[in-house]
Chain A
Amino acid sequence: MSAPNKNYDPVAVSSLSPGEVSRMLDEALAAVAQAGSLEELRAARIAHAGDRSPLALARAEIGALPPEARAEAGRRVSAAQTQLKDALSRRQAELEADRDQRVLVTEAVDVTLPGDRTPPGALHPVTLLADRLSDVFVAMGYEVAEGPEVEAEWYNFDALNIPPDHPAREMQDTLFVAPSSGPGSAGGPGLPSQGSSGLVLRTHTSPVQIRSMLTRPLPLYVVSPGRCYRNEALDATHLPVFYQIEGLAVDEGLTMADLRGAIQAFVDAMFGAGLRTRLRPDYFPFTEPSGDVSMECHVCRGASTDPGADPCRVCRSQGWIEIAGCGMVNPRVLVACGIDPDRYSGFAFGLGIERALMVGHDLTDIRETVDGDVRFSRAFGMEI
């Protein structure tokens, strides 16, 4: 640390002479120019632009100059330092570019090498489709209702206006639960038929409608996806254990026009707007009137029915695809649930999820859904 220099000693500050500054600069610039690597440049930077570099030391001596000389010397040193800094930056950029040329090229890899260390996971397409179908109705304001798969006969049949010994019970081949102990029911009023437990594996998700009507406040708009069971042989188009999704609306003033609207909105949401739907009479004990719904084939849009047209695999050249059964809730079902049929009416619809998968995703053998082959689920991934 030097105090202000009162003794003007020109020798002591010879380092600030124009010649000396210029020499220092030249030396520094030469070192910068000669630096052949980023490391050498770093050394040159320390040597010529660092705190202990000649130029820095020379700047420290400025205070020793007579006041009238300080400004000029300062300018001289600053100009030299600026010039050096520019040279350093330029050389730094040159050397970095050079390094990028050489080094990063040698570090190049084959990015097409696989990285599939972990086999991919997937959800089952029936799960995905059940969720998607539910979401369509949830977006319309419905709620998702669920119920047990081992179900009381009363929920599965009687409350749905399917009396014992009615041929409608035979429409659905039922898997019955054996009585847990003893001989089962003695038969008689208020009891299931003799030897039976009064329990079944639910043959449809409709018992969830009954449960919803018994437990939820009115008005009521629910969908119930779930697993159902029938005593049927497994083949390419039939599963004994399968999934359904049903919708139920109970409100004041609901009509078949509302039913048609709900179904049209659903088809629009699933397949895009512009496909017509068609309602034809059918029979279900729990709806009256009942119908089945077809939609215009989303693949050929009916074109395959024209004479000479290419056949359509999806609608089998019918132009229409049957998608759901539906109807107005039979007032008797409302009564069995303690709902006043003079005030409320309702509609219901139901469709098979595997069947929807066949229609929408080219599934030709329904057995794939229960086979468990990882290739099947993986093909659908995490979203449908």
Chain B
Amino acid sequence: MRVPLSWLRAYAELPDPVDAAEVARRLTAAGLEVESAEPAGHDIRGVVIGQVLSIEELTGFKKPIRYCRVAVSPAQLGGDPGDASGVICGAANFAVGDRVPLALPGAVLPGAFEIGARRAYGRMSEGMICSASELAIGDDHTGILVLDPDAPLGEDFVTYARLRDEVLEIAVTPDRGYAVSVRGVARELASAFGVPFTDPARAALPGPEVLGGPLDDEGPDVWPARIEDPTACDRFVLREVRGFDPAARTPLWMRVRLARCGVRSVSLAVDVTNYLMLELGQPLHPFDRSKLHGEIVVRRARPGERLETLDHVRRDLDPADILITDASGPISMAGTMGGLSTEIDERSTDLVIEAAHFSPEGTAKMSRRHKLHSEASYRFERGADRELPLPASAKAVALLSRLGGGRIIPGCTHAQAPVEPVRVSMAADYPDRVAGVVYGRDTVVRRLRDVGCEVREGMAATAPTIAPWRADRAAGAAAPGTAEHGRHDRLIPVLEVTPPSWRSDLTDPADLAEEVIRLEGYENIPARMPRALAGHGLTARQRLRRTVGRALGGAGFVEVHTDPFASPKDSGALSLPPEDLRRPAVRVANPLSEDEPLMRTTLLPGLFRVLLRNIGRGFGDLALFETGLVFRPRPGAPSVAPILPVNRGPSVQELAALEAALPDQPLHVAAVLAGACELPGWWGPGRAASWPDAVEAAREIGRACHLSLEVRADKEPPWHPGRCAALYVLAPSPGAGANGGARAGGEAGGAGGEAGGASGEQAHEWLAGHAGELHPRVIAAYGLPARTCALELDLQVLFTAAEAAGPVRAPQLSSYPVATQDVALVVPSGVAAASVQDALEAGAGDLLEDVRLFDVYTGEQLGEDRKSLAYTLRFRAPDRTLTVAETTAARDAAVAEAARRVGAELRGG
């Protein structure tokens, strides 16, 4: 909200002069954040009030040009016009005798625009007659600003029009509807400076001599109205002015104030309603009486009703919309925007002024539904003052009649619905307990009264923290406890507070506490340093997540964050089959980008996009990773999450209903590799990243979790069907990994889901994810470099398994010598190296310390479809030096087991 300091000063008796920066500081400290305080009118010099003595129309130019003589002193008025200043002017909206603002040579206008005497249109122009826009008091530049005839001749215009001011720009938070007005800001300012405040809603009200009776006197001749739906509107006031002069001009002082607030001057009738809305916070609406038909009714819309609003938009109305209607149908969207059919125009002489109090929720919904946000709806949805419609409408008709010459019809039409008054009972020391500061009862009471509350002091047994109508105390857990502690025995000082009508935000003791604390100053709250708590540190999963990131970073991967949105095209580009779990996706109703309306079900496409962006910037050797949630709709989940009550804690069942509606959101890690993983250099050629690097990165992630991942060939999209590794992990069953949406090992079609229980319990194999080279089709679909490799693992599966595995057990290290044996085994080429190794490990027995594949050979000597795998077996005993016979026996047993399981033959054996 923009507001000039001079207007605030009218109601808050500020010291004069006052530093605008200090005003800004104090208002901000009280909760009205002043975003800027800028001087206005200080940049105008040398403009005086003149009177037009003569006008000479110059012809022969493209537009009408006038050469005027303008007097700037009473002496010049009576003297020879030729002695007065001669000024060229392009406007024609003034006549001889009019008083006008004249910028004399040497004058400065806003924007450091200097006025000099200059030759124009063949004459000497000694200054400039100014328009409102040239004086920065409006955007009207079509004509010059004609002043009242009583404007004092020769006087400095800036002084006369009180242009020198400071304009505050205040960011009002949504709870402080009352502060969207001069009235509200001035009240805060008076509190902040400790000076008297005059309430403009109570001061200078028109008396019975103007209104024909007291403020709430009903008048039979005023247009009739009633409220049909009391939930939509609880007060509706109409007053009338007849015989109004629609051509009457808005006085300069009002135009200046409107301009300072950033409001355009339209016509006197509109300006008066805007002016009072700015001053009081009460939106007002003028109807043209001649366009009304029959009784006005405030009601909700009926099906099929439409209204063309002032902005010339025809709107289909919703049954929840709040309307002002007459016999012709809707004539206004209540508190939001008026209808075109009853709009006042340049011929409107009989005005019906509406001032009402509409439901905040109702106006909020309506303005959101129609995307129609007006100054009125802005105020109503933040809670307007229900006590304002009578005085505000009275001020409106009084101003209209005084400035526009109309006749006020005595009394008003006043429809209202009963409203339960708000009273808050608060322990007198509650603000002290919230702030950690002892204010004392007197300060609390004084501050609440500053805010406008009525406060009654008393004693009571209890003063709950929550207003009783907010919380279902019967269901509250602690209420019996407090009773047992015998609080009834002792009475505590309690304040019975009635918040003022303009503070609909004050409903709870906490709201009142904030008022006291902010007025006493947040800066006066001490800092009490925290005492040490017995926290448990990071959880195992949180630590593992960090370890996985560090392990990948240490392995040369760069972490990126990608936006977690996906395109419907991604499923196809990834070649996902129709039944794939990654196809169903959570859809955003109002996506940031129409191209990506889905939440990701896999991290890979986001990484592909970032990979390409980096390649585009000249970085082709890339290893990127991301950890983040993926979103998988749960089959059979309810389609709607309920809205639980907030006046009590939810039940276990209610929470379960909420959780059921959420999609699965497992934490994944994924990586992509392209280009070289070892760079070429003076040491020799580089090495391109390839499928084993992806698989090894996956194993590295496993190692970070103290897990040994089982690798098996798989054919999972988007990987190359011949270069795709599935990674399995052992975890206790059942369901330990199930909330991650993992698939059981057996379902993946891999060889043998059989697995021994590592920790003695029944253990199941869970698929943790895949790694390898991407499918050429996928590479083509995303435009990735050939042979791009990738991996994606479900960290939830890994973490669950890691947690189940328990702490690492220290190994028993033997210092006896190692005995090494090499074997080369020939197997059919379809046999996986991992299964050969498994067989060797199983056969070799406990003496085997390590087995390492050091060569893979295929060649003609072996025959077709056969390969030779060469292993180094390392044996060591915990308690003795092994003999050659022992190690040979163990080696032979290993070879025999490999022969039994996979048909391995000892090469050359």
Contact = CB atoms under 8 A, between A and B. Distances in A.
Contacts of B588: 175-178, 201
Question: Which 4 pairs, one residue from A and one from B, show the smallest C-beta to C-beta distance?
Answer: A338-B649, A141-B533, A255-B436, A257-B436
Nearest to B647: A335
Contact of A191 (B526, B613, B623, B640): B640
Contact of B642 (A120, A168, A198, A373): A198
B554 interface: yes
Among A168, A281, A370, residue most surrounded by chain B Cβ atoms (within 10 Å):
A281
B738 interface: no
A248 to B, nearest CB: 13
B564 A119 contact: no
A184 B587 CA distance: 13
A254 to B, nearest CB: 8
Interface string A154-176: 11001101001111101100011
A101 interface: no
Interface stretch (B256-264, B402-410, B675-683, B783-791): B675-683
B819 to A, nearest CB: 32
22 contacts: A116-B681, A119-B623, A121-B553, A124-B559, A127-B561, A142-B535, A143-B535, A144-B539, A150-B662, A167-B382, A214-B655, A255-B434, A256-B434, A257-B525, A261-B528, A283-B175, A331-B465, A332-B508, A335-B476, A336-B649, A372-B614, A375-B619
Given A192-B643, A289-B518, A378-B558, A283 B539 contact: no
B862 interface: no
A281 B514 contact: yes
A255 B599 contact: no
Nearest to B532: A141
A149 B564 contact: yes
Contacts of B683: 117
A2 interface: no
Given A144-B542, A278-B523, 9 more contacts: A114-B682, A122-B558, A124-B559, A155-B658, A256-B437, A261-B529, A279-B522, A341-B471, A342-B465
B3 interface: no
A142 B528 CA distance: 17
Given A369-B561, A372-B614, A214 B650 contact: yes
Nearest to A213: B649
A241 B643 CA distance: 25
A155 B481 CA distance: 29
A214 B590 CA distance: 30
B510 A328 contact: yes
B464 A342 contact: yes
A171 B560 contact: no
B233 interface: no
Contacts of A144: 538-539, 542
B789 to A, nearest CB: 15
B158 interface: no
By DSSP majority rule, is chain B's interface helix, strand, loop, or mixed?
loop
Interface in A162-209: 164-168, 170-171, 175-182, 184-185, 190-192, 196-199, 201
B353 interface: no
Contacts of B33: 280, 282
Interface in A324-382: 328, 330-332, 335-343, 345, 369-375, 377-378, 382
Contacts of A339: 649
Nearest to A146: B542
B661 A138 contact: no
A10 interface: no
A131 to B, nearest CB: 6
A118 interface: yes
A170 B365 CA distance: 11
Contacts of A175: 588-592
B528 A260 contact: yes
A140 interface: yes
Contacts of B644: 154, 158-159, 190
B609 to A, nearest CB: 8
A153 B677 CA distance: 45
A182 B649 CA distance: 30
A74 interface: no
Contacts of B592: 175, 231, 240
Contacts of A177: 586-589
Interface string B579-593: 000000011111110
B624 interface: yes
Interface residues of A, number: 112
Interface string A229-261: 001000000001100000000000101111011
Contact of A119 (B365, B563, B679): B679
Contacts of A332: 466, 470-471, 508, 510, 646
Interface string B475-513: 011110110000000000000000000000000111101
Contacts of A155: 658
Interface in A248-291: 253, 255-258, 260-265, 277-283, 285, 288-291
A150 B663 contact: yes
Given A168-B174, A191-B643, A197-B640, A331 B508 contact: yes
A331 B510 contact: yes
Contact of B640 (A192, A231, A277, A330): A192
A281 B642 contact: no
A179 B382 CA distance: 30
Contacts of A285: 175
A231 B646 contact: no
B556 interface: yes
A108 interface: no
Interface in B760-790: none
Contacts of B435: 255-257
A318 B471 CA distance: 43
Interface string A55-92: 00000000000000000000000000000000000000
A178 B568 CA distance: 15
A282 to B, nearest CB: 7
Contacts of A178: 587-589
Nearest to B599: A150
A155 B642 CA distance: 11
Nearest to B364: A165
A258 B518 CA distance: 17
A140 B533 contact: yes
Nearest to A328: B434
Given A117-B681, A214-B655, A257-B437, A290 B466 contact: no
B643 A198 contact: yes
A185 B638 CA distance: 11
Interface stretch (B24-32, B35-43, B96-104, B714-722): B24-32
A4 interface: no
B530 interface: yes
A158 B679 contact: no
A118 B542 contact: no
Contact of A123 (B174, B465, B525, B549): B549
Contacts of B645: 190, 336
A35 interface: no
Contact of B662 (A140, A199, A257, A372): A199
A382 B554 contact: yes
A50 interface: no
B462 to A, nearest CB: 8
Nearest to A124: B559
Contacts of B562: 370, 372
B550 A279 contact: no
A18 interface: no
A184 B29 contact: no
A176 B464 contact: no
A7 B626 CA distance: 94
A263 B649 CA distance: 29
A339 B623 CA distance: 48
Among B436, B526, B549, B623, residue most surrounded by chain A Cβ atoms (within 10 Å):
B436
A279 to B, nearest CB: 4
A7 B665 CA distance: 103
B891 interface: no
B556 A118 contact: yes
